[in-house]
Structure 1
Amino acid sequence: MHSDAREALLADVTRVCDLVGTMLGPFGTNKLVVEPGGRVTTTSSTSLFLDRLNLDDPATTLLRRAASDFRETHGDGATSLVLLTGALLRAADDLAAQGLHPTAIARGYREALDVARAELDAQARPLSLVGSEAVAESALTGTRNPATRARVSEAVTNAVADVSAAGGGRESVHVLGRIGGTGDTELFRGVVVETPPASEAMPRHLPDAGVALLSSTVDVPKLGSATESGKTTRSLDVDTFEERAAIGEYEREEFRRLLGSALDAGCRFVATEGGVNERVEALLAEAGVTAIQRVDDDVMRRLVRCTGSQVVPSLAEVTPETMGTADVRVERLAGREFVHVDADHSPVYSLVCRAPDPRAVSAFEESVEGAVAAVFAALADERVVPGGGAVEMAIERAVRDAATQHDGVEQLAIEAFGEALAALPRALAVSAGLDGWAGVIRLRVAHTEGRSAFGVDSLRGETRDVLDGEPIVDPLGLKRAVLDAATDLSTQLLRIDARLSASDLSDDDGVADGPPV
C-alpha cells in the first residue's frame, strides 16, 4: 500500500469527522459554510452541514452518503457515527504508519467489535427503569430550555406510544419546524398540511367528511382530448362562437355531473397532487367541498395512512370504496393557514415545533426527529444504556481488558479500537466547557471503581451518574447500530490505497504496485 496515497485520500475524511465531532450534544458548535456561489449557511445540524460541503473527494463522498443513509434508516445517531468513524480511522492510520497491515487492523477491529457488542448488552437496562420521556429528552439536543424539553418530550412520547401500539413506525409521526416561540410547540393528531384551501369561499370545518385523494388536476373534462380510459381520442372542428360556447357549457355540465356523483358518494374534501383550476373553484365551494392542491408525495402518503383513502386519477373514479373519512379543519398557525386532517383509520401525528430563527428551526426540527426515532428504537427492544458517554467508557474498559488476552499483532488494533471510543465522551466534555482529557480521566477512574453509569452531563457541565436524578440514556439498538456502522465504514476507508479515474488507469493516478490489499 502507498502510505502517501492513503493519507491523501483520508485527509479530508478525518477533517470532516473532526468538524462534525464538535457538533455533538446540546452545546455542539455551529458551523458557518460559505458555498462557491456565495450562499452562507450557519447550522448545528450534521445532516445539513454535510449536504452543504462542496467536496468531490470520493472518500468524503462515501462518508457523507453513509451518514445520510444511517440517519434515513435510524433517524438519529449520524453525528456519533461520523465522530467514531473519524476516531477509528485516526487510530488505524497511526497503526498503519507503524507498519501494521490494514488487514490485521481490520481483523483486530472486528474482534474488538464482538467484545464491544457483548459489553453493550451487559450494560443494558430495562426501559421501564427510566421511561420513554427520558429517552426523548436525552436525544433532544436542539434546545436547552427545561420547560421546552419537558413539553416536547412528553408530546413525542405520547405520539410514539400511540403509533407504536397500533403497529406504526416513524413515518407516522411528522415533525414540522417553523419560526416562532419555542413554547408554542404543538402536537396534532392527524396530518397538518401547509396548503390553504384553493378558495377562501370553501368551508372551514367539515366534520366526518368523505376524503378523496386525486393524482391529477381538478378541472372540467375536455372534449377533443384523451378519454377517461386514455385509449381513444376525439377531435372536434369548431368554427363558430356558438359552437365554442356550447362545448364550454357541455364541459361544465359534465363536471357538475362528475362532482354530483362524488358528492353522492360522500365526498366533501379533495386533496390533489395536481392543481385546482380557477374555473371550478366556485363550483366546488358552492357544493360545500374544500379542496387543496399541489400536495407533495410525502403528504399524500400520510393522508392515505391517516384516512384510509386510495389515490385515484380524477373525480370520475371517486367512489365510497376509494374514499376515507376525516374531520377536516382550516386553522391558522404562525400567521398562515393550514389544513388539519384527523381520522381514526390509523394513528398519525404532526408535531409543529417552533424556533426563533431559520438556523434554529433546522437544528430543532432535526433534534425532534432524532427524539422521535430514539423513542421508537427504545420501544423496539425496551432496553436502554447509560448516555453521556458512559456506555462508551464501559466498552472501552472491556475492550482494553480483552486486548491484554490477545497474543497476535491484532492486540494493538483491539486496544486502539477501545481508545477510539473515548472520543465521544471527550467531545461531550469539551462542548460542555470541561477539559476534554481531564473529563475522560475522571470517567475512567469512576468506571474502574465500578460506577458503570458515570458519564458527562452537558447541560449541567459536569460528570455524574447519568442514571440518577434526571436520567440520560440512549436506545440499545441505536448504539449497537452506530458501533457496527462506524467499524464497517472505517475498515472500508482504511483499505483504500489509491484514487483512480474511471477513464484513465495510468500510473500517474497513484495505483499501488503489486496485488491489491
Structure 2
Amino acid sequence: MVNKELVGGVRTVCDVVETALGPFGANKLLIQADGTVTATASSTELLDRLDVDDPAVTLLDSAAAGFDEQYGDGTGSVVTLAGALLRRADRLAERGLHPTAIERGYRDGLAIALDAVDHTARPLSSVDPADVARTALTGTRNPQVRRSVSTQVAAAVADAGDDASERIRVVSRTGGAAAETNLVSGVVLERGPVLESMARSRSETGIALLSSTVDMPHAGSQLGRVSRRVEFEADSFADREALAEHESGTFTEQLRAAVDAGCGVVITERAINERVQSELAAAGIVGINRVDADELRRLARATDATVVPTLAQVTAETLGRGSVDVNRKAGRDMTFVTSDAGDSVRTLFCRAPDPRTAGAFERSVEAAVASTAAAVGEGRVVPGGGAAEATASWRVAQEARSLPGREQLAADAFGAALMAVPRALAATAGLDAGRAAVQLRVARSEGRDSVGIDALAGTTTDVLGDLPIVEPVSLKRNVLTTATDLAVQLIRIDQRLDATDLGDEEETEPTADAPDPGPA
C-alpha cells in the first residue's frame, strides 16, 4: 500500500506549486524563520526557500533543484505532474493495487506518452526560435517586451550555438523597466572599480585576469615549489623601513612591467589591497576585485586572456584585449567588458522596477535561454500550452486498454494524470479547468493535436497560430520522465527509518567460558 502519511507533505507542496504554474501563476508569501517575507510565483524559488525537514519533501526538493540546474526550465511542470501521479496512486492503492503494479502501469504509460510526444513534434523551421523563447518568458505579460526580449534571446542563442549555457549569462538590476532589457556583446560585472578616481572607460586595452590578491609582495615569497626557506627578522625601525621600501619597489617594478606590456585593466578573483589601489589608479589602471570564478572564465574566453596568479606573471601574451566601460545603474556601478579578441560571449542585461520583479524576470529570461538552446540543439519542438500533455494523455487512454492485468488501471491513471498540466494552466488563466480539459480531448478525437491553453489570451486555441506557443521536445520528454521517476520513488516508500537508530544494539563477543554451541 502507498504510505499516505509519509508522502502527505509532498502532495501538499505539489498542490501549492500547481497553482503557480503558467504566466498567471498565483504568488506565494513565504515567511521564513528569521521573519523574512518573500513573494514569488516561481516554482524553483518556492522550493528553494522551503525550510522543511520532512525527508520525502527533501527528496522532492532535491529532484526539482537538480532538474532546474540541468535543464533550466520545466520545474513547475515536473512537480505538478508528480503530484498528480501521487494522487492517482492513492486511488489505485485503495482499489488494492500494489506499488509494484502501479509502477509497471506508470512505466507502460510513460512509454506510450513519450512516443506520442515524438509523433506530435514539429521541425523548428516551422516556427521561429524566438517563439520558443517567448513561450518560456513568463516573467512579463507585456507583448512588446516579450517580443523584444525573445528576439534578443534567440539572437544570443544563435550566436552561441551548442555552448549557449557557457557563453550566455543573464544579469538583472532593479531600477528601470523590463523594456530596457538589452543584449550586450560581452560580459557584465555587477561591480565597479575599487576607487572612484579610477578611469570609467578604457578602449581597446590590455586586460589582466588574476586569481589571487593584488598586493605588495612580501620578502621571501615565491611561486612554485619552495626548495629553501629563508626567515628575515626586522628588529629595528630602519630594517622595517628598508623592508617596506623593498616591497614597494618590487611592486612598482611589477606594475611598470605590466603597463609596459599594455595592461590597462586588472580584474581579480580576490581582493585588491588598499595600500596598492592608489598606485594602480596613478598608473592609469582600472582595478576591479572579487569577481566570481565563473565570470573570470567567461572574461578569459571573451578577451582571449590567460588567468595568472599575480601581477608578476602578467605579460603581453597573457593579456586579453577589449574595452571596459563603467556605468551607474540604479545607484550602483556596473562594468561592461566587450571584446572581439576571443569567443563571442553575450550577456542579457535585464531591468525591473523592484527586487521581486527583477528576480522573477531574470529567472524567466534564464528559462527562455535554456529552452531556446535546447530547441535549437535538437531542431524540434512540440505545441505548448499543455497541448503535448493532452495529446499524450489521449494516446495513453487509447492504448492502455490493450495492456494485460491490473497494470491497465495504472496506465490509464497515468494518462489521466497528464491532464494536470493543462488543467493548471487553464485554472491560473481564469478559465474553467474542467471545460478546457473537455475541449482539449474533443480536439484530439478530431485529430487536432495543436490545440492547447493560451493563458495570455485566456482561451483554448490552436497554439501554432499567429504567435506560436512551442516548447523543445527534449524538455517535454525529460519533464515526463523525471516526474514519473520521482512519483514511483515516492510511491514505493512504505516506512520511515531513522538511520541513527539502526545500530544501537551492540553485538557481544562470545567469552572464553561460553559453551560451544556445537554444529548447527
TM-score range, shorter chain: over 0.9
Task: Say which is worse superposed, 469-478 or 320-329, in terms of deviation.
Answer: 320-329
Structure 1: 4+ residue segments shifted above 6 A? none
Report how many residues are paired: 501
CA distance in 2, matches of 1:158, 1:169: 11
Corresponding residue for 1:368?
A: 365
- Residue 163 of structure 2 aligns to which amino acid in structure 1? G
What is the identity, as a one-letter code, of the residue corresponding to 1:175? V
Partners of 1:440 and 1:289 in 2: how far apart?
63
Is the 8 Å Cα contact of residues 275 and 293 (structure 1) preserved in structure 2? Answer: yes
Q: Residue 517 of structure 2 aligns with which residue? A: none
Residue identity opposite 2:148 in structure 1: R
What residue ranges of structure 1 are gaps of 5+ in the alignment? Answer: 508-517
- Verify the 8 A CA contact 1:226 1:234 in the aligned structure 2: no
TM-superposed CA distance for 1:506, in Å, is 9.6
CA displacement, residues 124-170 of structure 1 (integer Å, 9 cap, x when unaligned): 01111110111111000010011111111111111111011xx4221
* 1:493-516 Cα deviation digits (max 9, x unpaired): 111111110011499xxxxxxxxx
Q: What are the Cα deviations for residues 208-249 of structure 1, in whole angstroms up to 9, with x where unaligned?
A: 2222111111111112x5333362443323233333222222
Residue 482 (str. 1) matches residue 479 (str. 2): yes
Per the alignment, residue 171 of structure 2 pairs with 176
Contact 2:396 2:411 in 1 (8 A): yes
Three-state SS of the structure 1 residue aligned to 2:499 is coil
**In 2, are the aligned partners of 1:227 and 1:233 still within 8 Å (CA)?**
no
Structure 1, 301-310 or 92-101: larger mean CA deviation: 301-310
- Once the two structures are superposed, the pairs formed by residues 69-218 of structure 1 within 5 Å of their partners are 69-164=66-161, 167-180=162-175, 181-218=177-214
Q: What residue is the counterpart of 2:269 in the other structure? A: 273
Q: What percentage of aligned pairs have identical amino acids?
A: 51
Q: Distance in 1 between matches of 2:9 and 2:166?
A: 34
Deviates more, 1:349-358 or 1:414-423: 349-358
Say if 1:45 and 1:362, in contact at 8 Å, map to a contact too.
no
Post-superposition Cα deviations, 1:337-394, rounded to whole Å, max 9, x if no partner, equal: 2111112211111111122221111111111100000100100111110011111111
The alignment partner of 1:144 has SS state of coil
- Mapped to 2, the partners of 1:61 and 1:183 lie a distance apart of 38
What SS does the corresponding residue of 1:459 show, helix, strand or coil?
Answer: coil
Normalised to the residue count of structure 2, the TM-score between the two structures is: 0.93
Q: Deviations over 1:28-56 (max 9, x none)?
A: 01111112222211111111111111111
Counterpart Cα distance in 2 of 1:64 and 1:128? 36
Per mean C-alpha deviation after superposition, the further-off stretch among 78-87 and 337-346 is 337-346
Match of 2:221 among 223, 226, 239: 226
Q: Separation in 1 of the partners of 2:127 and 2:69?
A: 27
State the partner residue of 1:390. 387
Instruction: For 2:366 and 2:378, locate their aligned partners in 1 and report how far apart those are by CA, in whole Å.
Output: 19
Aligned to 1:174, what secondary structure does the other structure show? strand
Q: Does 1:381 align with 2:409?
A: no
* Rounded Cα–Cα distance in structure 1 between residues aligned with 2:304 and 2:338: 11
**Equivalent residue number for residue 514 of structure 1:** none
In the TM superposition, what whole-angstrom CA distance separates every residue of 1:165-195 from its partner, at most 9, and x where no partner exists? Answer: xx42212111112212122112111110111
Q: How much has 1:19 moved relative to structure 2? A: 0.4
What is the match of residue 512 of structure 1? none
Question: After superposition, where does 1:311-326 map in structure 2 within 5 Å?
Answer: 311-326=307-322
Q: 1:495 aligns with which of 492, 495, 504?
A: 492
Residues in 2 aligned to 1:12 and 1:429: alpha-carbon distance in whole angstroms:
25
Q: d(CA) in 2 for partners of 1:406 and 1:460?
A: 39
- Structure 1-normalised TM-score? 0.94
Q: What is the rounded CA distance, in whole Å, between the counterparts of 1:363 and 1:441 in structure 2?
A: 32
Q: Which runs of 5+ in 2 are unaligned?
A: 505-520
- Please give the alpha-carbon distance, in whole angstroms, between the structure 2 residues aligned to 1:216 and 1:171: 23
Once the two structures are overlaid, the 10-residue window that deviates more, 183-192 or 240-249, is 240-249
- CA shift at 1:68, angstroms? 0.5
- Give CA-to-partner distance per residue, 1:42-101, whole Å, 9 cap, x none: 111111111111111111101101000001000111011110111111111211221111
- Corresponding position: 1:458 with 2:455: yes
Residue 325 of structure 2 is matched in structure 1 by: 329
Q: Report if the CA contact (8 A) 1:135-1:375 is conserved.
A: yes
Partner of 1:46: 43
Deviation at 1:457, TM superposition (A): 0.5
TM-superposed deviation, 1:11: 0.3
SS in 2 for 1:481: helix
Question: What is the SS of the residue equivalent to 1:141?
Answer: coil
Contact map agreement 2:173 2:329 (CA 8 A) in 1: no
The aligned residue for residue 287 of structure 2 is 291
| Partner residue of 1:468 out of 465, 468, 471 | 465
For 2:398, the aligned partner's letter is D
Indicate whether 1:308 and 2:299 are aligned.
no
- The 3-state SS of whatever aligns with 1:60 is helix
The correspondence for 1:241, drawn from 237, 240, 254, is 237
Decide whether the 8 Å contact of 2:427 with 2:433 is kept in 1. yes
Q: Does the 8 Å CA contact 2:191/2:332 hold for their aligned counterparts?
A: no
- Residues 401-436 of structure 1, C-alpha deviations (whole Å, 9 max, x = no match): 111112321100110010000000000000000111
Aligned amino acid, residue 27 of structure 1 = F
Cα distance in 2, alignment partners of residues 70 and 79 from structure 1: 10
